[in-house]
Amino acid sequence: MDNNTKLSGCLSPAYTGRLRRGRAGAAYRLTMSDRHVTESAVARLPRPLSQVREHLRDTFWFAPTAGLVVTAALWVFTSEIDQEILRAMQADGDTEGVAAAVRFAEDVKPVVSAISSAMMTFIGVVFSISLVAVQMASGQFTPRVVRVFVRSRITKLTFSVFLSTFLLSLLVLIAYDGATDPQEVVSVPLLQAGLALLMVGLSLVLFIGYVNATLRLMRVGFVIDRITQEAFRVVAKLPPVRGVEWDAEPETGRIVHKGRAGVLRDVNIARLVRSARKHGVVLRLIPQIGDFVVPGTPVLAVHGGTAAVRKVPVYSLSVGIERTFHQDLGFGLRQLSDIALRALSSAVNDPTTAVQAVDRIVQFLAALADRPLESLRHCDRRGRVRLIQPVPGWEELVDLGFAEIRGCAAGHPQVTRRLLAGLDDLLLLAPPDRAACLLRHRALLAAAVQAAVPEAADREFALQPDQQGIG
C-alpha cells in the first residue's frame, strides 16, 4: 500500500484528489528549495578548524579580546611610524613642520579626550538596552534563542570596535608629549590621532548596522529563519551513508566518560578516526550528540583489534552545559518546537507564531524525507569505516517536530489545519516505509480535535488541511 492509498483513508475524496493533482509540483518545489539551501550551506562550510570555530562562535569574549589585542598592536605600529616621521623632520631641521605637527596634535587632543570619556558610557547604554531586548526575546520565544544573539557577528563586531575605539583613545592620550620646543618633542601622535578619528567613524557606521540587526533579531520570523539555516548546515555536514559498508566486528571494550557531567556537544571526528586507524579498530559512539553524559558511563565502544582501550583519546569528546548546532541534527527541531509551544501557551496565545514554526519544521523534515538516517559511518583515507556515530532516526525527528505541538494545538484550528497540511506534504515526499509515523500523528491529531472541540462544524473546520492555517 503506497502513501496516497494510506492517505485516502484519512481524507475526504475531494481533498485526496486535489493532493494527487495539485500538490506534487508544490512538493517538488519544496524539495528543490531545501536542496538549494543545503547545497548553499555546503559551499559556506568552514573546512579547517571548524570545531574550534564553532566553539568560539558560542562565546562572547573571544572577538572583543582579539579586537583589543589587534588595537594595541596597531597603536604600537602607528606610534613607531609617528616617531620615525618626527625624527626625520628633526634631523632635517624642519622646525616649522614639527611645530605644525604639534599644533595639529594639540587641536585633535580635545576630540580624542571626548572620545575616551564618552565611548564607555555609550557602550554601557547601548548594551544595557540590548540585554533587555535579549531578555524579552528569551521570554517570548524560548531561552534557547539567546544563542542566536550570542553568535551574531554584527553584535560581536560592534562591541569589539567600540571597546577598541575606547582603548585606542586612551593610548593616544598617553602618547602626547608636553614639550614645546620642536627639538625636544619626543612624540607627536599624528597617525594615532587620525586612526582614532577613523575608529569613531567606523563605530558610528557599525552602530547603525547593529541597531538594524538587533531589531531583526527581535522579529520571530527572522529568528525562526536563522534557526532553520543553522539546522540545514548541520544536514550539509553529514557524511554520505550509501555505499559505505561495515562488517560489524565483535565489541572488544568500552571507554567510560571521565570528565565533568554535561551535554555531549560534539566530537572531534578527525582525531577519533586517526586514533582508530592507528590502533586498527572501529570506534562506535554510544550516546547521541545532545545526550547528557555523566562520569562513569560508557561513551565509546571499541570493535575489533587488540589495542589497549585506554589509548583511545576520550578527550576528543566535547561536553558542555548546553547543546550546540555543530553536529546536533535534532537541535534545530528542538528550538522550533519550543517556540511553537511557547506561542501556544495561555500566557502568550499566539498561534500565528506556532504556524511559522511548523512551516520550518515541515521544510526541515521534507529535506530529510528520503535521506538515510541510520548511524553515520566515518572513513579513513583508505575508505575503511573507523567511526560509527548514531543520529536521530526519521521517526525520532518526526516525533520531535510534531508530538508536543500536536498535544497543545487541539484548541487552535489555525495550527491544526497547518499541521495536517504539513503532514500531508510529508506523506507525499517520504518513502512508504516512513509513512507510518506520519499517519500516526495525523490520526492522533484528529482524535485530539474530536475530544477538545464539541461542535461538529468546528471540528470539521479544524480538520481541513490548510497551508496557511486559516490565512
CATH at residue 287: 3.90.1170.30
Distance CA 274, CA 286 (A): 19
Q: Tell me the three cell numbers of residue 220.
A: 520571530
24 confidence band (pLDDT: 50, 70, 90): very low
434 and 375 together in one domain: yes
Contact 268, 283 (CB under 8 A): no
Whether residue 98 lies inside any domain: the answer is yes
Percent share of the chain, pLDDT over 70: 83
109 and 183 together in one domain: yes
75 and 204 together in one domain: yes
271 and 350 together in one domain: no
Contact 226, 339 (CB under 8 A): no
447 and 388 together in one domain: yes
54 confidence band (pLDDT: 50, 70, 90): confident
CB count within 10 Å of CB 195 equals: 20
309 confidence band (pLDDT: 50, 70, 90): low
Whether residue 470 lies inside any domain: the answer is no
How buried is 204 (Cβ within 10 angstroms: 0-12 exposed, 13-18 middle, 19+ buried)?
exposed
Helix, strand, or coil here: 379? Answer: strand
Q: Rounded to 5 degrees, what are φ and ψ at 265? A: -80, -50
**pLDDT for the residue numbered 175:** 80
Is 50 exceeded by the pLDDT of residue 36?
A: no
Whether residue 316 lies inside any domain: the answer is yes
354 and 433 together in one domain: yes
| Residue at which a domain ends, from 157, 187, 218 | 218
Whether residue 315 lies inside any domain: the answer is yes
Q: Please give the residue range of the domain that contains residue 403.
A: 3-44+329-462
Whether residue 88 lies inside any domain: the answer is yes
The total number of structural domains that make up the chain: 3
267 and 357 together in one domain: no
Whether residue 231 lies inside any domain: the answer is no
| Residue at which a domain ends, from 218, 250, 282 | 218
**pLDDT for the residue numbered 38:** 41
| Residue at which a domain ends, from 218, 247, 282 | 218
Q: Supply the mean pLDDT for the chain.
A: 81
Mean pLDDT value of segment 378-388: 86
Half-sphere exposure of 298 toward its Cβ, with a 13 Å CA cutoff? Answer: 12
Higher confidence at residue 281 or residue 24? 281
213 and 108 together in one domain: yes
Question: Tens of pLDDT along 226-269?
Answer: 899 989 988 888 776 554 566 677 888 888 888 889 999 888 88
306 confidence band (pLDDT: 50, 70, 90): low
Question: Tens of pLDDT along 357-380?
Answer: 999 999 999 999 888 887 788 888
Contact 165, 200 (CB under 8 A): yes
Helix, strand, or coil here: 314? Answer: helix
73 and 214 together in one domain: yes
Is 80 exceeded by the pLDDT of residue 270?
A: yes
Q: Which of 15-24, 233-242, 408-417 has the highest mean pLDDT?
A: 408-417
Model confidence, pTM: 0.77
**pLDDT for the residue numbered 167:** 92
342 and 453 together in one domain: yes
412 and 359 together in one domain: yes
29 and 80 together in one domain: no
Distance CA 38, CA 240 (A): 14
Whether residue 367 lies inside any domain: the answer is yes
